[in-house]
Amino acid sequence: MGLFIEVAIEEAACASQPECRECVQSCPVDILERAAGERVARVIDENVDECILCDLCVVRCPVEAVTVTKLYAAG
């Protein structure tokens, strides 16, 4: 988990699409990975603070397994 955001992957939903890499391929700052043969994508914890809140990973996931949560209040 990052200091200001949390990126999470719902494992059961992600595992239902074993060949999918949409979230990984869409992330411009490489905070997600899914190695060949891996059951689910994973968040690279040390890269989470690089997230630019573009939500491409959320939008591109066909099973809505990715969530990005802001841990601060705007305003």
Mean of per-residue pLDDT scores for the chain: 93
Give the angle subtended at the CA of 5 by the CAs of 33 and 12, to the nearest 5°: 45
If you search the block for the tokens 């990973």, which residue do you land on? Answer: 57
Of the pLDDT bands very low, low, confident and very high (cuts 50, 70, 90), residue 46 is very high
Closest CA to 23 of 53, 54, 66: 66
- If one counts every other C-beta atom within 10 angstroms of the C-beta of residue 72, the result is 8
Query: Residue 55 is part of which domain span?
Result: 5-70
In the predicted model, is pLDDT for residue 24 greater than 60? yes
The residues facing 5 across adjacent strands are: 70
Residue 75 lies in a domain: no
CATH number at residue 9: 3.30.70.20
Q: Is residue 52 part of a domain?
A: yes
Rounded to two decimals, the pTM is 0.87
Please name the residue ranges forming H helices in 1-75.
Answer: 11-15, 22-26, 56-60
Does the residue 60 lie in any domain?
yes
Inform me whether the pLDDT recorded for 1 exceeds 90. no
